[in-house]
Amino acid sequence: MRFGALFRRGFCRCGSASDLAPLNAQAVAPVRGGDPALGPAFGPLPAPLAAWKTFTDGPVSIVYTTDAAAHRFHALAPEACAAPGSVPEACVVADIDLGRLTDPAHPAQVQRTARMAAHSLAVFRDLGFRVPDTLTIRLCTFGREKGANYRGGTEVWLDHVWVSTRLSDADALLTVAHEVFHRVQYLYNATSNKTSPLYAALREGGARLAEDWVLDSGDRYLKDGSELLGDPGRPLLHHAAPGGEIAPHSYAAALFWRWLCEQHGERAGASDFGHEVMRTVLERMVDDSGYILQDLREARGLVYGEGHLDRFQHLDVAGGETLSTETDWGNFLVANWLHGTGKPTPDLRFDYVEDDAGDGAFSGKRPFVWPGEALRAEQLPAKPYSFVIPGGAVRAGFAARYNTIDVTGSSPPLVQLDFEVQDGMEDPLVQVLMVSRDADGREKLKDLIRSDRTRWSTVIPTKGLAQIVVIVAAREKPGRYRLALSAAAGQAVLHVAPCNAAAGTSFETDPRAGAWPWTSPDVALDGTDIRIRVTNRGDVVSGQATVALAAQGTTADVPLKAAAWRPVGDGTLPPIEPGATATLRIPWQAPAVPKAATGWGLRATVTDEAGGERLVVLSSVGALARPRRFDTVL
């Protein structure tokens, strides 16, 4: 048969050597009983049926053949046909004791496969997943005559999974676990619609992750993750092309699921924790059209930890009122760059727990940077960098591109970044990492600036830095953008830390290190005053700065909202020298509306009268009541 026919049907053909070929993701009407043209893997068992045998062990049945004359492509190899002797034989695979092989009427490989399946079902059941009551595995070889390397597969409309006759030991266990987890996934959502962006990423990436719960030393997700880092422009969530193609590298999404489980699991610190995160994701995937992104966002809101899947928490976008820029998509992209800087990376949001224990190919690997996008800042005064992303570079939703700027040597005091979307990409995520390096070469994230604007400019001070990393990512909408970097000097750069950030930084602290106070360290109650601190990160003295302070009361029934600010005071700061911090105190008098308020939101607006720079920082006093759903406020 032509393999194109297989691809058009969009089958799960896990572990294929044909991973470079696209799959068609158009919904396919289920063929009950399978397609005879596809043989025993996806079709009915071919004649002669008497050549097929069945071994049953509890809930697991294994269908196989040893008759090479009748089924030469599917028969077990002669060396695999040996049956256990009269004494029960131990079944140990990859140091896991799977019990005993006791039936001398069936080959040991067949019985081992049954033990692997029973073990996988037990692991998933013990982790709280729904599992099928019974399971049938067909041992056969799909595509062998074409030289392919398909390990196994299944489909929602099949009544079985299949596993290659050529697998043994750990390879067989990983494939069995992978296919069994597909049957687990089908119990939560039996969609055959493969056109959603999440379908391939969750089905294949989720099953690749599940392998690790059955055999922790398998680590196939790290191999796939290395491939993802090698081309970060590949979409994590693939949006189907007009022909409905599914990205065959969807297995690499396991790296994201593993990181998500590590970050938001309840058993922090264990290498296998977080299965409840994947379980919650599956439980939310109930939409009849397939797997949709909103279901994933809702699942993220149900698990442990502050933040959002991919959206900033804006109170008022136009007014610059932002409570949080903490997103899993952003943190994952930063983790991909920083995970090799230490074991563990000091900020555990940017670390992979399991990777701390080894020095394999994945350890220390970073996302690929195109040679023309690795710059030296000392070159920028003579030749500013301007890059217009080519069509298809960020070719689908949830893909990214990395730029690096080496700021060692004779770098300019400031680097200016200008970003502008030119086509599509309505919801970009731009992150600027400011990285320092100690005498031993260890890197540290000194600060992190984030923006989700389609047009954005910022000035980055280079003092004390070794490297600036710019990550431009798509969320749902891919597109084209222009990124410009140039040397800058003679500017004041005012800074006020946002809420939940450490003093002197621009991003939130790890919420697992302590509950977020939703208060800025630079806009906070100090005695009977609100103390406001403004730092000049530039290289020249600032102009006079004006500060306007507003507040609003909140209760459990009246949360923070954009239209409720009331002026409570203002003041003026004198010009601020480079590197210096100025402080202003405004007497605090809490607004009396509403009367039952126990917490108040604060909004400080700082304006440099000379340079025109304007900062808006939110903070709080008392028990602030925040909006329950930020994604409805956007």
Tokens 């069994």 found at: 180
Q: What DSSP state is assigned to residue 168?
A: -
Report d(CA 537, CA 541) in Å as an integer: 10
The 10 Å Cβ neighbour count of residue 571 is 13
Q: For residue 469, list its beta bridge partners.
A: 404, 433
Report d(CA 572, CA 510) in Å as an integer: 33
The answer to whether the CB of 371 falls within 8 A of the CB of 471 is no
Inter-CA distances, 412 with 321, 432, 436, 443, 489, Å: 31, 17, 16, 21, 7
Give the helix/strand (H/E) hosting 559.
none
- CA angle 148/151/152 to nearest 5° reads 120
Query: Would you give the distance in Å from CA 262 to the centre of its chain?
Result: 11
Q: For residues 267 and 369, which has the higher predicted lDDT (pLDDT)?
A: 369
The answer to whether the CB of 532 falls within 8 A of the CB of 577 is no
Structure confidence by residue, pLDDT tens digits, 497-543:
999 999 999 999 998 888 899 999 999 999 999 999 999 999 999 99
Question: Is 56's pLDDT higher than 80?
Answer: yes
Report d(CA 530, CA 522) in Å as an integer: 9
Three-state SS string over 310-353 comes to CCCEEEECCCCEEEECCEHHHHHHHHHHHCCCCCCCCCHHHCCC
Report d(CA 97, CA 116) in Å as an integer: 10
Token pair in block for residue 484: 């410009």
Report d(CA 51, CA 54) in Å as an integer: 10
Structure confidence by residue, pLDDT tens digits, 538-586:
999 999 999 999 999 999 999 999 989 999 999 999 999 999 999 999 9
Question: Is 472's pLDDT higher than 60?
Answer: yes
Structure confidence at residue 256 (pLDDT):
93
Three-state SS string over 254-311 comes to HHHHHHHHHHHCCCCCCCCCCHHHHHHHHHHCCCCCCCCHHHHHHHHHHCCCCCECCC
The answer to whether the CB of 142 falls within 8 A of the CB of 35 is no
Query: CB neighbours of 590 closer than 8 A, spacing ≥ 6?
Result: 551, 553, 597, 600, 621
Question: Is 388's pLDDT higher than 80?
Answer: no
Tallying the residues shown for the chain, one arrives at 634
pTM for this prediction: 0.91
Structure confidence at residue 365 (pLDDT):
84
Peptide bond into 390 cis (omega under 30): no
| Residue 367 backbone class (left: φ over 0; alpha: ψ -120 to 50; beta: rest) | beta
Structure confidence at residue 143 (pLDDT):
65
Q: For residues 88 and 324, which has the higher predicted lDDT (pLDDT)?
A: 324
Token pair in block for residue 553: 């009361």
Considering just the CA atoms, what is the radius of gyration of the chain in Å? Answer: 28
What's the rounded mean pLDDT across residues 590-605? 95
DSSP secondary structure string for all residues of 393-437 = TT-SSS-EEEEEEE--SS--SEEEEEEEEEEE-SS-EEEEEEEEE
Give the helix/strand (H/E) hosting 134.
none
Question: pLDDT-derived band of residue 223, with 50, 70 and 90 as boundaries?
Answer: confident
Structure confidence at residue 134 (pLDDT):
97
Structure confidence at residue 624 (pLDDT):
95
Token pair in block for residue 293: 């992104």
Question: pLDDT-derived band of residue 237, with 50, 70 and 90 as boundaries?
Answer: confident
Tell me the pairing of strands 321-324 and 245-246: unpaired
Structure confidence at residue 390 (pLDDT):
58
Structure confidence at residue 153 (pLDDT):
92
Question: pLDDT-derived band of residue 424, with 50, 70 and 90 as boundaries?
Answer: confident
Nearest Cα residue to 133 out of 184, 72, 87, 200: 184
Amino acid in the structure at residue 430: V
The answer to whether the CB of 281 falls within 8 A of the CB of 293 is no
Q: What DSSP state is assigned to residue 176?
A: H
Tell me the pairing of strands 400-406 and 467-473: antiparallel
Token pair in block for residue 519: 């208060």
Task: Provide, rounded to the nearest whole percent, the portion of the chain with pLDDT above 70.
Answer: 86
Token pair in block for residue 282: 């599956």
Token pair in block for residue 290: 């397939």
Question: Is 24's pLDDT higher than 80?
Answer: no
Nearest Cα residue to 24 out of 2, 1, 4: 4
Q: For residue 618, list its beta bridge partners.
A: 603
Structure confidence at residue 49 (pLDDT):
96
Q: For residues 572 and 234, which has the higher predicted lDDT (pLDDT)?
A: 572
Inter-CA distances, 623 with 485, 518, 527, Å: 42, 9, 17
Task: Provide, rounded to the nearest whole percent, the portion of the chain with pLDDT above 90.
Answer: 62
Structure confidence at residue 532 (pLDDT):
98
Inter-CA distances, 15 with 205, 328, 486, Å: 12, 28, 45
Q: For residues 390 and 423, which has the higher predicted lDDT (pLDDT)?
A: 423
Question: pLDDT-derived band of residue 39, with 50, 70 and 90 as boundaries?
Answer: confident
Inter-CA distances, 132 with 59, 152, 180, 184, Å: 9, 18, 9, 7
Give the helix/strand (H/E) hosting 567.
strand 566-573
Three-state SS string over 517-537 comes to CCCECCEEEECCEEEEEEEEC
Structure confidence by residue, pLDDT tens digits, 155-196:
999 999 999 998 999 999 999 999 999 999 999 999 887 777
Of 76-90, 439-453, 577-591, highest mean pLDDT: 577-591
Q: What DSSP state is assigned to residue 461?
A: E
Average pLDDT along the chain = 86
Question: Is 445's pLDDT higher than 50?
Answer: yes
Structure confidence at residue 290 (pLDDT):
75
What's the rounded mean pLDDT across residues 328-345? 85
Three-state SS string over 179-246 comes to HHHHHHHHHHCCCCCCCCCHHHHHHHHHHHHHHHHHCCCCCHHHHHHHHHHHCCCCCCCCCCCCCCEE
What's the rounded mean pLDDT across residues 73-88? 87
Interhelix angle 220-230/198-214, rounded to 10 degrees, is 140
Tell me the pairing of strands 523-526 and 23-24: unpaired
Report d(CA 333, CA 253) in Å as an integer: 13
Question: Is 322's pLDDT higher than 80?
Answer: yes
What's the rounded mean pLDDT across residues 591-617? 93
Peptide bond into 587 cis (omega under 30): no
